[in-house]
Amino acid sequence: MWIYLNDRFVDRKEAMVSVFDHGFLYGDGVYETLRTYGGRFFMLPQHLARLQRSARLIGLSVPVPEQDWPSLLREAVDRNGLTEAHLRITLSRGEGELGLDPALCPHPTLVVMARPIAQYPAHLFQEGVPLVLATTRRNLATALPPQIKSLNFLNNILAKREAGQAGAFDALMLNAEGLLTECTTSNFFFVSGGCLYTPAVDCGLLDGITREVVLTLAREAGIPVEEGRYPAECLAHADEAFLTNTSMELMPVRSLDGAPIGSGRPGPLTQKLRTLFRANIARFLG
């Protein structure tokens, strides 16, 4: 496996980061994930823009010029012999002496990894996945803005532990007001009365790229869409639910805390949107 580290590609065994790196010591950094279909990068400008936004919001310079990213990422995919690839760009504050002051780190650390895209078992899409409602609340947006795709992931990890302990696929998180936000690595949608609902970004969630694609496809198909502020109790009357992110695309949800959502099976609107998403990918591939 070839990994891009700072200014060159190195073998996985040589991809070493200092123990004084502030990403390791303090979680001081940002990251971005994206994927390819048939070797082609999907929504690349949007992902790179989000990386730049995350870095800007923490005062971190991106060491690769915007025009150089496509060739760098292409080499990461090609060196690893991939066509269906999952890429992660990690940018930390860099190596420096102990202390929180960003000025201690003169140069950021950049890592680019390209791996085969995760293949979720087909039965999950056919049956849907179980969720639990996490007791861990989403970080306050005023404390750590969710528009920063940060290396600080302990909040989500604690929620993911809750899911694992309950035997669930993932955990659905609430904000400090008790309103729905997102799962640990995916955005959340639900359907009620033929309308598609998803928590608004200002509830404290990351504006996922796949989330935006789904919202666009739904509106183009004439499906009523609403982004808003919803308490968890509204899911007792939901007909369907699903998750979105880069690797799983649209994942149906069958239950929450052991109670079925709707029929407890992937619903017709979820299936329609999955079909529309796959058709969008087919158009993308030409």
Q: Which residues are catalytic?
A: 149
Give me the residue label for tokens 């496996």: 1
| Phi then psi dihedrals of residue 110, to 5 deg | -120, 130
- How far is Cα 191 from Cα 224, in angstroms, rounded to an integer? 10
Closest CA to 209 of 147, 151, 271, 278: 147
Closest CA to 206 of 261, 139, 258: 139
Beta partners for 132? 171
Residue 78 CB partners (closer than 8 Å, separation 6+): none
Closest CA to 190 of 224, 235, 231: 235
- How far is Cα 52 from Cα 56, in angstroms, rounded to an integer? 6
- Whether 34 contacts 142, CB under 8 Å: no
